[in-house]
Amino acid sequence: MPLSTKTEVMSTLLLAAGLTVAAHAAETPALTKSDLAAATTLRSTTESSGEAYAVLESLTTEVGARLAGSAGDRAAVAWAERELKRLGLANVRTQEVMVPQWVRGEIEARVTAPFPQALAAAALGGSVGTAETGIEAEVVQFTSLEDLKKATREQVAGRIVFVNKRLERAKDGRGYGVAVPVRLEGASVASNLGAQAIVIRSMSTSQWRLPHTGTVSYAVGVPRIPAVAVSNPDADQLERMFARNRPVRLQLRVTARELPMTKSANVIGEIVGGEKPQEVVVLGAHLDSWDLGTGAIDDGAGVAIVSAAVAQIQKSGLKPKRTIRVVLFANEEFGLSGGSAYGKQTPEELANHVVAMEADFGGARVYSLGSQVAPEHLPAVREIARALAPLGVEFDDRNKSGGGADISPLRRQGVPVFALNQDGTLYFDYHHTANDTLDKVDPKALAQSTAAYAVTAWLAAQAEGGFGRLAPPQ
């Protein structure tokens, strides 16, 4: 048949198929009118509530920084148990988790040539220290990890490597995924080439003179070298020195060190489901933070959002069919200890996890709902997205969302995930720095995010038929 006719027939077929799906969804919606009416009320009461901000104010003021394994971390676990009880959640409990313990110590970073001066630097999390007296060596600059990987031993051996890779600003934070391998892998790549240490441009979008920390991931069997980040303005300064084509030399003294593994805990609380208590909707966030700030946006905001969201459902007097569970994960930053521990459940328990979602992208507004559910259940997610539309939340129907780090062990074992995507335009200005403090969080935006989580959790607990299972990852 002629192409135009063929196209017409195909579009008619597609239209018919679309109508069939629509008609089917119209016949059998996953949510009842009364569930949706309750969602409308929940949305407005949560959006006008200051509860999430109060939770965040309490955590950042009364606990502050809470690096895994530190005294702050222990205080955070005790705080979370008290707070979830205060918020009215049931079955508040801890799940013991072993976590690494790392001490930052002190750092001195100085240019010794060609223009002697101090730099603002921070050791990367997990970095080994230098010798007590420090090290001094010529610096060799690379613009990316790929660039460094192509270097020869002759270029690098005995020197300090500087990787000058800039993180690009984006609403969805995609620049981080592009740049962060420098921080994770750079030290081992440089060490394999005989480097004495690595200095990286901070994984940061800000021009403040504040270095960003974050984990370094040492490869097994490769000698560990000190790994530090300099702030963006200091990286610019080094870049200008290199542009003068004169040898640049640095002196580094880092007293960071590792201590034995120690105990921490996931803190869990819930609203027990009325009809299907064994079926669980999980809302996660991580309780630990880096040590430089007070962990307000990373991830105090997430802790506040999920705790207050579930508390609002409870306060509204709603009786969900399924259990809605808050999990405040231990040690996300230093290797996902809490997420991995929570993911170690029996196949039966995992099968009862209907869906999981995680808040770990600051306190800014949610702008879209994405998911990864069994495709035949996508219409149910669309119904939830419609209930979020008055909050300015769009539906991302690609069904390819990852959901977040702490719930990735669940996702890999077939548990569907939702992603309430928050505006990350400013997120990498603050995260992992001394500037990650309460004043960076807008209470109105935090309340909007909390409302989005509350509505999504409530409707997920009510949705007829759940969201299926995910196929094992390829």
Show the tokens assigned to 471: 């196929």
Site map (CB under 5 A) of Zn ion, residues 147-186, x = contact? ----------------------------------------
**At closest approach, how far in Å is the CB of 259 from Zn ion?**
22
Site map (CB under 5 A) of Zn ion, residues 4-43, x = contact? ----------------------------------------
Per CB under 5 A, 47 contacts Zn ion: no
Nearer to Zn ion, 79 or 162 (CB): 79
**At closest approach, how far in Å is the CB of 27 from Zn ion?**
42
Task: For residues 178 and 231, give the distance between their C-alpha atoms in angstroms, rounded to a whole number.
Answer: 18
Per CB under 5 A, 436 contacts Zn ion: no
Nearest partner of 253 among 137, 100, 115, 113, judged by Cα: 137
User: By CB under 5 A, which span of 93-101, 356-364, 449-457, 460-468 interacts with Zn ion?
Assistant: 356-364
Residue from 83, 288, 298, 358 in contact with Zn ion (CB under 5 A): 298
Residue from 51, 288, 360, 406 in contact with Zn ion (CB under 5 A): 360
**At closest approach, how far in Å is the CB of 80 from Zn ion?**
16
Nearer to Zn ion, 234 or 298 (CB): 298
Nearer to Zn ion, 279 or 298 (CB): 298
Per CB under 5 A, 358 contacts Zn ion: no
Task: For residues 416 and 351, give the distance between their C-alpha atoms in angstroms, rounded to a whole number.
Answer: 10
Please state the length of the chain. 474
Identify whether the C-beta of residue 372 lies closer than 8 Å to the C-beta of residue 400.
Answer: yes
**At closest approach, how far in Å is the CB of 407 from Zn ion?**
13
- Give me the catalytic one of 47, 270, 279, 332: 332
User: By CB under 5 A, which span of 46-54, 352-360, 418-426, 463-471 interacts with Zn ion?
Assistant: 352-360
User: By CB under 5 A, which span of 169-177, 293-301, 321-329, 374-382 interacts with Zn ion?
Assistant: 293-301
Nearer to Zn ion, 67 or 380 (CB): 67
Per CB under 5 A, 279 contacts Zn ion: no
Identify whether the C-beta of residue 312 lies closer than 8 Å to the C-beta of residue 452.
Answer: no
User: By CB under 5 A, which span of 20-28, 98-106, 194-202, 291-299 interacts with Zn ion?
Assistant: 291-299
Count of residues touching Zn ion (by CB under 5 A) = 3
Phi, psi at residue 188, to the nearest 5°? -75, -35
Question: Active-site residue 332, yes or no?
Answer: yes
**At closest approach, how far in Å is the CB of 360 from Zn ion?**
4
Residue from 51, 279, 288, 299 in contact with Zn ion (CB under 5 A): 299
The residues that are catalytic are 332
Contact set with Zn ion (CB under 5 A): 298-299, 360
